[in-house]
Structure 1
């Protein structure tokens, strides 16, 4: 019985993650969650007080998963630029957009302080972690000393999120790849 309850809870969270990514908060109805997860209304309200609490769990899970993937790449082998390149060029579902970044464009998520919190925390962490890497690269002489780690990290995050938007608008992942290539070109241009 316990295993089935945990499985239902996980299915509810995973289904909500998918629906939020596809449809946004308003388009993610409790009925759609129940249909996608195969869990009944009783199960949903047994595990969560309502849609908002379930959405918070789903958003937090999406942010945690993205953070774990990024940290694995940032902590991997190679120079700072190589590790950032691995992160930026990782395989992504570009035309669906970023599962967390899309929520930053959702007025219902942004209007709710609790739902907004994991989105803000994720982007704060990502920007800060990139800034740490860039500082490491600058200190090692790999990057130009004039590079400002925090502003450059912010620009890299903006390139990724903007790349998703441009790719979706053009219906082409090639646009995203060009944005990444452009950012890497700027990052690797070092004054001698």
Structure 2
């Protein structure tokens, strides 16, 4: 693996694990197994490297979600596939954790990939809800944008509840609850 990729992957892991402030350049270099010169050869500093890591995390999160949401079945089936996907629940969401980091949110270079990822996700789920309504699968009483926001909030809130409990069960309950609410709005 190229040095630049090792630096980005190490930064992704450390940001997820420790947050922005807890991710020092020295920790990144040690995790990546590279020297200081290598880091500064590829990146101007920690903010530049963190931005590259957040962009890559955003791309990866979108790719996984896109695969779930574009899979086979009805709109409900594809939303369920997204909600039921295997996750490292107790680690939380890479992007969700960054949305809670004040240093990330204060820096537009760092916060933009986070905001854009959640905007994309809500938009894609809203499209599926609207598709389900157009196909007669989901009731017309659902607002696609509000429903999409609720689905994303269930996942993010589920991560928080699970981490607080030290157990994945609160996440699983939140997902089952969201699916139950959506299933109650199915017309078929």
Shorter-normalised TM-score: what interval? over 0.9
Asked if 1 retains the 8 angstrom alpha-carbon contact of 2:154 and 2:175, the reply is yes
TM-score, scaled relative to structure 1? 0.96
**1:29 corresponds to which residue?**
24
Asked if 1 retains the 8 angstrom alpha-carbon contact of 2:4 and 2:42, the reply is yes
State the SS of the aligned residue for 1:188: helix
Cα offset for 1:75? 1.0
User: Take 1:72 and 1:191, find their aligned partners in 2: how far apart are those partners?
Assistant: 23
> Matches of residues 1-192 of structure 1 in structure 2 within 5 Å?
7-190=2-185
Asked if 1 retains the 8 angstrom alpha-carbon contact of 2:137 and 2:186, the reply is no
How many residue pairs match? The answer is 187
Cα offset for 1:190? 2.3
| CA spacing shift, 1:63–1:143, aligned 2, 3 Å | same
CA deviation vs aligned residue, 1:116-154 (integer Å, no higher than 9, x gap): 000000000000000000000011111111100000000
TM-score, scaled relative to structure 2? 0.98
Structure 1: gaps spanning 5 or more residues: 1-5
User: Stretches of 4+ moved more than 4 A in 1?
Assistant: none
Cα offset for 1:188? 1.0
CA deviation vs aligned residue, 1:12-51 (integer Å, no higher than 9, x gap): 0000000000000000000000000001100000000000
User: Take 1:72 and 1:92, find their aligned partners in 2: how far apart are those partners?
Assistant: 14
Structure 2: gaps spanning 5 or more residues: none
